[in-house]
Every structure is written in structure tokens, then in C-alpha cells.
A and B are shown apart, each in its own frame.
Chain A
Amino acid sequence: MTLATIVDIASWLLMSAGGLFVLIGGIGALRMPDLYTRMHAASVTDSIAPILIITGIVLQAGFTLASIKLIAILLFLLLTGPTATNALASAALLAGNRTEQATPYTSKDD
């Protein structure tokens, strides 16, 4: 097994794992009971998933200009994603969206 094959396999594994996390985030965003837990699930798609996917693509690209651009994109995503999540959460809180008011699952048990 040559080094190229190992790098190839590693990159495909990383990208597949990233895709899996995007899928999990999507399912979570649909299935979670209220806004905040949904956001928590969806934030997987803009934190761990791009790290894995872009690392995978960087391994494919090797030491080229494309890799530097990809890392710049990753940094941009890592800065903006959590910020957007934070802005959304504080906007929801400001609009009066409280967790206690929107939890169908706990209210059933009571």
C-alpha cells in the first residue's frame, strides 16, 4: 500500500464522516422538539462537519494554492457558523421563545 492510497482512503473516510454528521444534523433539526434543541442539532452541520469535509478535500488537493483557499473557507465557516447560531438564539430569546413553553415531550409526562 503506497502513501498515496493511504492518503486517499483517509480523505474519503473524513469526507464520509463529515457527510454523516451533516445527515445527523439534518435529522436532528427535523426531529428535535423545540427551537433551541433544533439549533443545537443543526450546529453540528456548521462546526464538525465542515472541519471533516474540508480536511478530506485538503488531503485530496495536497500542498497547493487550492488547499490554502480551502483552509481560508474553513476558518470563515468556523467564525460565521457559531456567530449565526448565537444571533439566532438571542433573537429567539428576545422574541420571547422560552423552552418551557414549547416542549411537547415533557408536558405529556406530567
Chain B
Amino acid sequence: MTAVFSIFLLTLLIITAIAIVRISNLFAAVMLSGIFSLLLAANFFVLDAADVALTEAAVGAGISTVLFLSALAMTAEHERSVSTNRGIALIVVITTTIAIIYATFDKPAFGDPAAPIHQHVAPWYLDTTRYAIEIPNVVTAVLGTFRGYDTLGEVFVVFTAGIGVMFLLSARSGSKRQRLPQASEGLRHYLVPRVVGRMLIPFILLFALYVQFHGEYSPGGGFQAGAIFAAAIILYALLEGEDRALVALPRSWLTTMMVGGALLYGGVGVVCMLLGGNFLDYSVLSSNPVAGQQLGILLIEAGVGITVTGVLLNIYHAFAARDKF
């Protein structure tokens, strides 16, 4: 039964992808890519990846749509030119698709517990989490402890991308711009979205905190919570206007959050070293190694959440501030 459902969802994904590529109105393409992300999240959930589904829904369907729309507002709504070498591109693409599909026949059967991927480290992660970390969500345990270095690297990639966008978009452009009153006021004239939005935003923030601090027990963690928190503030900015969102969370705070979260993560690692352990070896943080691991995961997840919120909001404000012409 699940197989039928999967096939249905995957077929919808492919149809949506073809529609995205074919449609020449970029606005419609962006909306369709939001639908694509939501379908992808449903697919991830069917494939047992609850954490990934939550992230994809918050990031792909929420924040990336907003970013695309704010970029579209500054560029163009339609694509104009048609490529001259579409035939060659189509031949290349179809040949490669056939080659990849041919290669899939050598893959282990889908969902086979004896497949090589399930033999090496995954059983060890599952076993060790049970007695050394003692938190139910293995994904959070792997993210925070076993692959802590990797996650630290990812946080710094996010941080670097945030700095890059700020550098690119804070430069003054050639033409002088005047701001329209609409851009700074958001949807303040529209009563219904505003009232419902104001009612829901506190609960979205509360949900973000739940996802952040309950991430050890249920799907969730810093990345997802950061995305949801940023989405709540972006909703506020869309409803009440840029300026009020910046009053609520000023730019200096956001930049401090960007830096502070990454520093918190790195700092936990350094403290571990000062206490006599290895870098990011949380066992030394407390007299009880298991409690130390749990404290370490809580702290670094907080660092991840703070950085992701800061970066995503800074990126949004960088785009939105440029929008006023």
C-alpha cells in the first residue's frame, strides 16, 4: 500500500518538475516549486525521514519561495529568450537519464536491510545512541555528537553564505531609488490576513521553540527551529512591514545572532578541550558522561538554531531592503 502511495507522490513530483521547467512565467514557476517542495517533504515522510521532511517543508516551501519572490520583484517576471541549442541539451539529458536508469538495475533492492549502506556505521550509531547518549532521536544524536565536526562545518557554510549575501546586496546600486510607502507598510491595509497573522505568529514562535528544545525526543532540532523562527518573523515583516520587523529584531541583533550562534558552537568545542577532552567531545562537560553528551547537544543545537535564524533573516532583510524602488 505504501508503495502505491510512493509511486503516486513521485509521479506528481515529476509532473510538477516538468511544469516548472516548461512554464515561462517565472512567478508561476516559483509557486510550483513551492508545491514541489511540499510534495518532496511528503515523500521524505513516507521514506521515514521525519526530520528531513520538517526541514524541507519549512525551508523549501516557506523560505525559498519568499526569497525567490523577492528576487523576482527586482528582476523580471517572464523569461524572454529561447535557447538555440535545446535539441542538443535534450539529447544529452535523455541519454544520461537512460544511463542512470540502466545503472539502477545493479543497485540493491529498495528497502533491503542487507544493503551495504546499512552495514557499516548506521548499526553502530543506533546501538551507541541507546547507551552512551540516551536520547530517543538518533538523527539529533548523529547530527550533534557523532558528526559534530560536519555540522560545525555546515553552520559555518550557512554563516559564510549569509555574509556573502550581505556583501553583495548592501553595496549601493547605480540608480537612485525612492521607497514606495507600500513597501514599508506591508499588508497593513488588509484586515483579515493581518488579524489572523497577529494571532498565529506567537504560536509559530512557540512551535519553533518546541521544535528546538524537543529535538532530542521528536523530529526537530536547530536547523528546523531556525527556519521556522525565521519564517514567523518574515510573516510579521510581510504583514506589518519591513520597518516594524526591524524594530522588533534590529539588524545589529541579527548579525550578533549570526556570529554568536557559530561562536557558541565552536566555544562548546573549545571548552571541551579546556576540560581535558577532545574538540566537541561533550562527555567531559559534566561529571556524568551521558549527561555531558546531552548538555553538549542542547548547547550546540541552540547555537545552530540561533545562527540559522540570524542568517535567514539577514538574507531576507538584505533582499527586502533592496526592493524599495
Contact = CB atoms under 8 A, between A and B. Distances in A.
Q: Is the interface of B mostly helix, strand, loop or mixed?
A: helix
B200 A86 contact: no
Interface residues of A, number: 7
A87 B194 CA distance: 10
A79 B196 contact: yes
Interface in A68-101: 76, 79-80, 83, 86-87, 90
A90 B197 CA distance: 16
A80 B196 contact: yes
A77 to B, nearest CB: 11
B200 A87 contact: no
A90 B193 CA distance: 10
Contacts of A80: 196, 200
B167 interface: no
B16 to A, nearest CB: 15
A90 B196 contact: no
Contacts of A76: 200, 203
Nearest to B193: A87
Nearest to A72: B203
A73 to B, nearest CB: 11
Contacts of A79: 196, 199-200
A86 B192 CA distance: 7
Nearest to B203: A76
Nearest to A85: B192
B182 to A, nearest CB: 11
Contacts of A90: 190
Contacts of B199: 79
Q: Is the interface of A mostly helix, strand, loop or mixed?
A: helix
Nearest to B204: A76
B37 to A, nearest CB: 17
A108 B200 CA distance: 45
Interface string B187-230: 10010110011011001000000000000000000000000000
A86 B190 CA distance: 10
A90 to B, nearest CB: 6
Interface string B157-197: 00000000000000000000000000000010010110011
A87 B190 CA distance: 8
Contacts of B200: 76, 79-80
Contacts of B193: 83, 86-87
- Most chain B beta-carbon contacts within 10 A, residue among A76, A80, A83, A86: A83
Contacts of A86: 192-193
Contacts of A83: 192-193, 196-197
A71 B219 CA distance: 19
Contacts of B203: 76
A6 to B, nearest CB: 24
A79 B202 CA distance: 14
A90 B199 CA distance: 20
Interface of B: 187, 190, 192-193, 196-197, 199-200, 203
18 contacts: A76-B200, A76-B203, A79-B196, A79-B199, A79-B200, A80-B196, A80-B200, A83-B192, A83-B193, A83-B196, A83-B197, A86-B192, A86-B193, A87-B187, A87-B190, A87-B192, A87-B193, A90-B190
Interface of A: 76, 79-80, 83, 86-87, 90
Given A83-B192, A87-B187, 16 more contacts: A76-B200, A76-B203, A79-B196, A79-B199, A79-B200, A80-B196, A80-B200, A83-B193, A83-B196, A83-B197, A86-B192, A86-B193, A87-B190, A87-B192, A87-B193, A90-B190
CB-CB nearest 6 A-B residue pairs: A83-B196, A86-B192, A87-B193, A83-B193, A79-B196, A83-B192
